[in-house]
Amino acid sequence: MSITPNIPQLQVTNSTSYADLLGLQLGLPRLQGETTNAYVKRLEFAAHLRRTHPYEGALNEINLQLGVEPAPYVNVELGSNTTISCSIAGVILGSDLSTQVTIPLFEFDNDTMWNWRLLSDVVLDINDYVPATLLVADGPAFQLARQSNSLWSFAEGVSGVQNKLKYSGVQVGSELFNQTVPTYTLTSDGDLLFSAEPPSSLTITYNYIATPYNLVGAPIALIGFLDPEFSSAAVTSGSALAYQLREFIQQAMLIDRSYWAV
């Protein structure tokens, strides 16, 4: 009589490798069932991202811990001086447009709940003003991260009479030097020309508009009470507090009773 051995069903399990040792130092343990190749890719991604407490770093850290990555969600073709920003207040287009335009990411329903619009609806509205293309599968618009194409280059080194700045789209008039400089001309393309030899160790800080621009998103939303635009999204036109916000406050009060005194 033959006896069939009782062999348990094989399952994918995590193993220890040099990648795991590196991941422990980065504070990113391997996810259940994550392959070494996928794990190494996530560690490489983490090595190039800001992971500090401000918004960008906090969002990156949450995404890394859950194994997802921020990615371009919407491509927007902008003019050289067209600004675009995104926050809980919506997608805001401005600068060289005749008036500033705000495209909401959500609407209030009859129960004062935030009813998130679809990404495709937001992109359709953007196309009323500038060309835009959805780059990912459709989904709720809360996935769009807080961002802006109006950026700053800080303490960029310049030397010699003729310079080419690192970025184009320079907002002429925004520039600041760390030392007194000779008379100069600066163009929006980033061409900087001095009338005489400038001081050594000279740096320039300036505002520039990034074009073309992709709105970045992730499957995770990070909303803070200290967001500058939060108050504009917290109440309805009838001054009713959003339902989700009431839930957020309730949870905060359960964690920290000092909120009851506010």
Q: Tens digit of pLDDT for each residue in 146-205?
A: 889 999 999 999 999 999 999 999 999 999 999 999 999 999 999 999 999 999 999 999
Six token digits for residue 130 = 């500038």
Range with top average pLDDT, 38-52, 119-133, 209-223? 119-133
Q: Is residue 1 part of a domain?
A: no
Taking each continuous run of H as one helix and of E as one strand, the counts in the chain are: 6, 15
Q: Is residue 7 part of a domain?
A: no
Task: Report d(CA 101, CA 90) in Å as an integer.
Answer: 10
Within this chain, do residues 34 and 132 fall inside the same structural domain, yes or no? no
Within this chain, do residues 54 and 180 fall inside the same structural domain, yes or no? no
Within this chain, do residues 93 and 140 fall inside the same structural domain, yes or no? yes
Q: Is residue 203 part of a domain?
A: yes
Within this chain, do residues 201 and 178 fall inside the same structural domain, yes or no? yes
Q: What H or E segment, with its residue span, contains residue 114?
A: strand 114-116
Count of structural domains, the chain: 3
Among candidate residues 70, 85, 106, the one where a domain is terminated: 70
Within this chain, do residues 77 and 141 fall inside the same structural domain, yes or no? yes
Write phi, then psi, for 142 (nearest 5 degrees): -65, -15
* Mean pLDDT of the 237-250 span: 77
Q: Is residue 4 part of a domain?
A: no
Q: What is the pLDDT of residue 185?
A: 97
Within this chain, do residues 61 and 104 fall inside the same structural domain, yes or no? no
Q: Is residue 202 part of a domain?
A: yes
Check if the beta carbon of residue 185 is closer than 8 Å to that of residue 165: no
Q: Which residue has the higher pLDDT, 243 or 206?
A: 206
* Mean pLDDT of the 114-133 span: 95
pLDDT in tens, 53-98: 566 666 666 667 777 778 899 999 998 788 999 988 899 998 766 6
Q: What is the pLDDT of residue 133?
A: 97
CA-to-CA dists, residue 81 to 75, 166, 179, 242, angstroms: 17, 17, 28, 35
Collect all residues with Cβ–Cβ distance below 8 Å to 19 and sequence separation of at least 6.
30, 36, 39, 40, 43
Among candidate residues 70, 85, 109, the one where a domain is terminated: 70
Q: Could you tell me the pLDDT band of residue 17, with boundaries at 50, 70 and 90?
A: low
Within this chain, do residues 198 and 254 fall inside the same structural domain, yes or no? no
Within this chain, do residues 222 and 255 fall inside the same structural domain, yes or no? yes
Rounded to two decimals, what is the model's pTM? 0.69
Q: What is the pLDDT of residue 88?
A: 86
Domain that holds residue 106: 72-147+213-261
**Interstrand relation of 176-177 and 191-194 (parallel, antiparallel or unpaired):** unpaired
Q: Which residue has the tokens 């500058």?
A: 228
Among candidate residues 194, 209, 224, the one where a domain is terminated: 209
Q: Which residues pair with 207 in a beta bridge?
A: 152
Q: Could you tell me the pLDDT band of residue 15, with boundaries at 50, 70 and 90?
A: low
Q: Is residue 3 part of a domain?
A: no
